Amino acid sequence: DTGVSQNPRHKITKRGQNVTFRCDPISEHNRLYWYRQTLGQGPEFLTYFQNEAQLEKSRLLSDRFSAERPKGSFSTLEIQRTEQGDSAMYLCASSRGGYNEQFFGPGTRLTVL
Amino acid sequence: DAKTTQPPSMDCAEGRAANLPCNHSTISGNEYVYWYRQIHSQGPQYIIHGLKNNETNEMASLIITEDRKSSTLILPHATLRDTAVYYCIVRGGQAAGNKLTFGGGTRVLVKP
């Protein structure tokens, strides 16, 4: 257990539905990252926050995706109008500052039927 | 971020040292080499990182060549629990946002 928690651990949804995932980072960490991992591939960067500010978004993050970190603590990742191609493991990580190691949560596995 | 090249898979005998190579020939002067591993169905786990000097911690040793174009992660006494995918990552500076860029990694199977 790294101290980063994610909920839910598994989500099955039908195509076209909206889903929201939550990440609770290690409390003193100011950086929070979201990654996506498809089967057999390494994780791919989606976006990151420093405190409550979203500082970078990958081109992978289409306009159906939105992430927030309202008080600089927990973060949510919402996917609207899910597609089958969104099926993946969504990983959250946190760190103290930019150069320190990132601690990953267990991930949320999304299956879109 | 510089690209890394790792063998896709390797086997290792339990109790023996596992030496995992990584090539990063385009690494620049301010980029660090990081190693993470991912055990099946878990999030990636940080192992070790270095800039130019060799590093050692309770999990592993990292040997970086003098020209910094390659490195080797050494697991001194591999156990069955070390079976995982190991990722070598060159981590960018401020402009890159300090995100991690994962490649395909090396799938390590520790055999009894």
pLDDT in tens, chain A (113 residues): 889 999 999 999 999 999 999 999 999 999 999 999 999 899 999 999 999 999 999 998 889 999 999 988 999 999 999 999 999 999 999 998 877 889 999 999 999 99
Chain B residues whose CB is inside 8 A of the A21 CB are none
**Nearest residue to A15 (alpha-carbon basis) of A89, A67, A92, A85:** A85
Element (H, E) at A37: strand A31-37
Question: Backbone phi, then psi, for A26, in 5-degree steps?
Answer: -65, 135
Task: Point out which residues pair with B85 in neighbouring strands.
Answer: B38, B107
pLDDT-derived band at B91 (thresholds 50, 70, 90) equals: confident
CB contact under 8 A, B99 and A55: no
Give the closest-approach CA distance of B99 to chain A in angstroms: 7
Cβ–Cβ gap B46/A103 under 8 Å: yes
Q: How far A29 CA sits from the closest chain B CA (Å)?
A: 14
